[in-house]
Chain A
Amino acid sequence: MKRFYMVAASVLVLVFLVVLLVPGVAESIEGRLLSWLARTAS
């Protein structure tokens, strides 16, 4: 289990860094969020 937690934490940190540092990823996620919000609101 301990190994699972370490791997999980590493993946989450990686996700955070990729979204923060890779150009276009944050914008893409935000676009999807906006689409979802618009669909939910309508």
Chain B
Amino acid sequence: MDDQRAVSTTRKVVSGLVFVALIPLVAMAAVMVSARMGDGPSVVFAGGPLVAGELATGPEPDWSFVRDVGTIELQLLDPPKSRLIWIVEHEGKAYVVSGYMGSFIGRLWKRWPIQAERDGRAIIRVDGTRYARTLERIRGGAEVEGVTAELRRKYGFVASRTDIADGSVWLFELGPPSAEMTGVSP
């Protein structure tokens, strides 16, 4: 009888502890869902498609204005999720970067670079204005030195030409939109 009571009490205590532990987990899951449904990312969680903001058209802009921009919102067309990322400018072109790509956890955590390599069509939003772009992965070339220098200057992010060549850091140029950019709402 005492054993049964002890088991019952233990079960109640464990159930209570599990319930208490589940509350913050459920709350966090709701925050993630809320972020995913919103226009653009939050600081911590990926967001939904970038809808608000004028869609820039016309000639290719000079991206030097992003030298003073800390983060931008980047949304791939497939899948249409958005996130905050760094951006640098070099010789009038814009670049984005993803570190930690050399580790298993990094690749698990950072899916957007792999998705971008597969389909580089994207929308970025900078200071409220959206730009249709195509992400093209850069593994080498003359611009790497300048881009990595700018990353170091702007963010203190250290990446070498070797890091980019061997894939531990993925670098993308934000090139002009491809001719068949569909799925972009004006």
Q: Interface majority SS on A: helix, strand, loop or mixed?
A: helix
B11 part of interface (Cβ distance < 8 Å): yes
Q: Contact: A19 with B12, CB < 8 Å?
A: no
B35 part of interface (Cβ distance < 8 Å): yes
A23 to B15, CA, bound (A): 31
B interface bracket (residues with beta carbon within 8 Å of A): 10 to 19
Given A16-B26, A16-B30, also A1-B44 (CB < 8 A):
no
Q: Contact check: which of A11, A19, A30 meets B44 at CB < 8 Å? A: A30
Q: Contact: B30 with A19, CB < 8 Å?
A: yes
Rounded to whole Å, the gap between the CB of B8 and the closest CB of chain A is 8
A37 to B43, CA, bound (A): 12
Q: What does the 1/0 interface line of B23-36 toward A look like (CB < 8 Å)? A: 10011111101110
Q: Interface majority SS on B: helix, strand, loop or mixed?
A: helix
B168 part of interface (Cβ distance < 8 Å): no
Question: Across the interface, which residues of A come within 8 angstroms of B44, CB to CB?
Answer: 30, 33-34, 37
Q: Contact: A30 with B19, CB < 8 Å?
A: no
Question: Across the interface, which residues of B come within 8 angstroms of A19, CB to CB?
Answer: 26-27, 30-31, 34
- Which of chain B's residues has its CB closest to A37's CB? B44
A42 to B50, CA, bound (A): 32
Sample (30) of A-B pairs whose CB atoms are under 8 Å apart: A1-B12, A4-B12, A4-B15, A5-B15, A8-B22, A11-B19, A11-B23, A12-B19, A12-B22, A15-B23, A15-B27, A16-B26, A16-B30, A17-B30, A18-B30, A19-B27, A19-B30, A20-B30, A26-B30, A26-B35, A27-B42, A29-B27, A29-B28, A30-B31, A30-B42, A30-B45, A33-B28, A33-B31, A34-B44, A37-B44
